[in-house]
């Protein structure tokens, strides 16, 4: 298959080069590169990027970096038309050759990504297929921007996803997929909000002021932090979707030297336990702790039950054949590990490595009629772990685990990342999901799993909540045996908090 990548005449950037390298390496693909007769309508703010590299210590090799165009493939002079054109300029004319066009918020990606980041709106990458006189949207990814106050880093995550999306589409085409009928990796989303780019100088000044203010609040210990809440479920709410708006939770006390987050509940032998990530500020490395919840609903003081040479969090629990297992987040080990309870809840031993040589977070494990599924958020080159969902499947809990085709199966900053243990809602399976639009853990949603098998994944969001001030984050939900727990981001003020919904 001959694939032609059509670039603007402007500067060649590192993400262009990475796209070329990865598509050219695909089996069965011959890649050509062509250039438009003029550059993008608006230039990228390279002066701002250079300033940010100095101020914020951005290393060399970022995706927006200008590279020498001698690295581009030399035109082969062939008169044979390509089988498909991948256009990132928005100006390739309609014709007999199928065209896959990449946009960001309805603009060419180099322009649209910068406009979205500088304006503070969600970047939405879309692929449109033009063939036989028709046009069809074949992909739509809402992309996370982890550092919106550093433009070069924010833009870089968008370009990282752009590389991934273009390579995935080219690989599908090379494998014989007909994209007119296959929508295996599409999130059905509208276009992103149009963005008017502010002046780079005003963006830099405003974001620098925000960073200074945040550092001052942190130094004075006025900065908000994560904390965990627990409550008894109201009578008659079992089996229903969670109703968190207006719910009041008792805050898990801390001594001001640590925070507790990522709460999970478990009942064993008639006793209730609350597992949390404990994050001591002195070490800045998470450990897993447990508190027993008494008959009065009050938890004991958490005690550490698992620590490692890396940060641990998200203590997902499951039971299989009478044994309780723990799947902690241990991303810095580049592995998803399975731990077995030797003496629940205090002693654990590592039973298996489920997935190795991957950087993934917040893994949840689900058993279906056809086997086991592991859902987690991956962090890949130049991309964020906030916005993607990847899936592995295995015939047995301890493996062997294999990725499903087309990972990541979805990219959506508002509903991809796991936020707790999936639960039954009637005959349906519901995933708690994180909404990271604007900031990490900004809100919480619930998504019905419409499809989960070795061939694909689909979900429908059926509920979402963003908390009102003074809270600005809500990112984990779990329930068990009449108890319900969440974690929130905000001031550590008082022994209770109430989750109110933000207007608008």
Two tokens, residue 4: 């032609």
pLDDT value, residue 200: 59
Per-residue pLDDT tens over the stretch 1-28: 999 999 999 899 999 999 999 999 999 9
**Distance from C-alpha of 315 to C-alpha of 373, rounded to nearest angstrom:** 17
* Across 360-382, average pLDDT: 96
Helices first, then strands: H and E counts in the chain:
5, 30
Sheet holding 30-35, edge to edge: 30-35, 2-7, 84-87, 99-104, 124-131, 134-142
pLDDT value, residue 7: 95
**Distance from C-alpha of 143 to C-alpha of 489, rounded to nearest angstrom:** 22
**Distance from C-alpha of 107 to C-alpha of 194, rounded to nearest angstrom:** 9
pLDDT at 490 over 60: yes
Per-residue pLDDT tens over the stretch 385-398: 999 999 999 999 99
The more confidently predicted of residues 74 and 345 is 345
341 close to 364: Cβ distance less than 8 angstroms: no
pLDDT value, residue 344: 97
* Across 224-250, average pLDDT: 91
3-state secondary structure 140-180: EEECCCCCCCCHHHHHHHHHHHHHHHHHHHHHHHHCCCCCC
- Burial (CB count <10 Å: 0-12, 13-18, 19+), residue 85: buried
| Other beta carbons less than 10 A from residue 407's beta carbon | 18
pLDDT value, residue 69: 84
* Chain-centroid distance, C-alpha 436: 8
Cβ neighbors of 54 (< 8 A, separation 6 or more) are: none
Q: What confidence category does residue 261 fall into, taking pLDDT thresholds of 50, 70 and 90?
A: very high
**Distance from C-alpha of 277 to C-alpha of 280, rounded to nearest angstrom:** 10
pLDDT value, residue 98: 93
226 close to 268: Cβ distance less than 8 angstroms: no
Per-residue pLDDT tens over the stretch 422-466: 999 999 999 999 999 999 999 999 999 999 999 889 999 999 999
Beta strands in 17-61 (DSSP E): 30-35
The more confidently predicted of residues 239 and 326 is 326
- CATH 2.115.10.20 fits domain 224-499: yes
**Distance from C-alpha of 264 to C-alpha of 257, rounded to nearest angstrom:** 21
Q: Which pTM was predicted?
A: 0.91
Instruction: Please list the residues that pair with 323 across neighbouring strands.
Output: 320
295: left (phi > 0), else alpha (psi -120 to 50), else beta?
Answer: alpha
212 close to 190: Cβ distance less than 8 angstroms: no
- What's the CATH number for 2-215? 3.40.50
| CA 20 vs CA 58, 93, 361: distances in Å | 24, 21, 29
**Distance from C-alpha of 16 to C-alpha of 126, rounded to nearest angstrom:** 17
pLDDT at 368 over 90: yes
Domain extents in the chain = 2-215, 224-499
Q: What confidence category does residue 216 fall into, taking pLDDT thresholds of 50, 70 and 90?
A: very low
Per-residue pLDDT tens over the stretch 173-184: 998 887 665 543
Pick the closest to residue 191 from 151, 135, 137 (CA basis): 137
């Amino acid at each position: 298959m001959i694939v032609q990548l059509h670039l603007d005449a402007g500067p060649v950037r590192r993400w262009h080069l990475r796209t070329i390298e990865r598509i050219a390496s695909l089996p069965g693909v011959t890649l050509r590169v062509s250039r438009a007769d003029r550059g993008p309508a608006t230039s990228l703010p390279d002066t701002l990027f250079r300033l940010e590299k100095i101020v914020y210590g951005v290393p060399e090799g970022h995706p927006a970096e200008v590279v020498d165009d001698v690295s581009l493939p030399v035109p082969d002079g062939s008169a044979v038309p390509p089988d498909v054109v991948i256009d990132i300029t928005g100006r390739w004319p309609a014709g007999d050759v199928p065209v896959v066009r990449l946009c960001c918020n309805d603009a060419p990606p180099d322009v649209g990504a910068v406009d979205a980041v500088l304006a503070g709106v969600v970047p939405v990458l879309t692929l449109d297929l033009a063939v036989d006189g028709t046009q069809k949207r074949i992909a739509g990814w809402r992309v996370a921007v982890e550092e919106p106050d550093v433009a070069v880093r924010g833009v870089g995550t968008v370009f990282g996803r752009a590389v991934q999306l273009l390579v995935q589409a080219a690989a599908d085409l090379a494998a014989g997929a007909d994209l007119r009928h296959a929508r295996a990796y599409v999130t059905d989303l509208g276009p992103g909000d149009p963005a008017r780019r502010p002046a780079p100088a005003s963006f830099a000044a405003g974001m620098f002021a925000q960073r200074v203010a945040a550092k001052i609040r942190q130094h004075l210990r006025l900065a908000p932090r994560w904390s965990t809440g627990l409550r008894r479920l109201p009578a008659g709410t079992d089996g229903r979707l969670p109703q968190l708006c207006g719910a009041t939770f008792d805050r898990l006390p801390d001594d001001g030297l640590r925070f507790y987050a990522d709460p999970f509940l478990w009942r064993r032998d008639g006793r209730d336990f609350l597992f949390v990530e404990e994050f001591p500020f002195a070490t800045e490395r998470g450990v897993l702790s447990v508190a027993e919840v008494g008959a009065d609903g009050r938890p004991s003081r958490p005690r550490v039950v698992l620590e490692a040479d890396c940060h641990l969090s998200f203590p997902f629990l499951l039971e299989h054949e009478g044994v309780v297992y723990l799947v902690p987040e241990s991303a810095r080990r580049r592995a998803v590990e399975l731990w077995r309870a030797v003496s629940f809840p205090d002693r654990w031993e590592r039973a298996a490595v489920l997935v190795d040589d991957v950087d993934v977070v917040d893994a949840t494990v689900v058993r279906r009629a056809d086997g086991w599924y592991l859902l987690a958020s991956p962090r890949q080159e130049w991309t964020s772990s906030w916005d993607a969902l990847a899936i592995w499947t295995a015939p047995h809990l301890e493996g062997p685990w294999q990725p499903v085709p087309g990972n990541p199966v979805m990219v959506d900053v508002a509903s991809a990342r796991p936020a707790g243990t999936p639960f039954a809602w009637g005959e349906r399976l519901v995933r708690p999901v994180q909404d990271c639009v604007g900031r990490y853990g900004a809100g919480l949603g619930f998504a019905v799993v419409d499809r989960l098998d070795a061939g694909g994944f689909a979900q429908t969001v059926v509920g979402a909540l963003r908390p009102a001030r003074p809270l600005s984050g809500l990112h984990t939900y779990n329930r068990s045996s009449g108890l319900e727990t969440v974690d929130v981001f905000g001031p550590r003020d008082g022994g209770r908090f109430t989750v109110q919904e933000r207007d608008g």
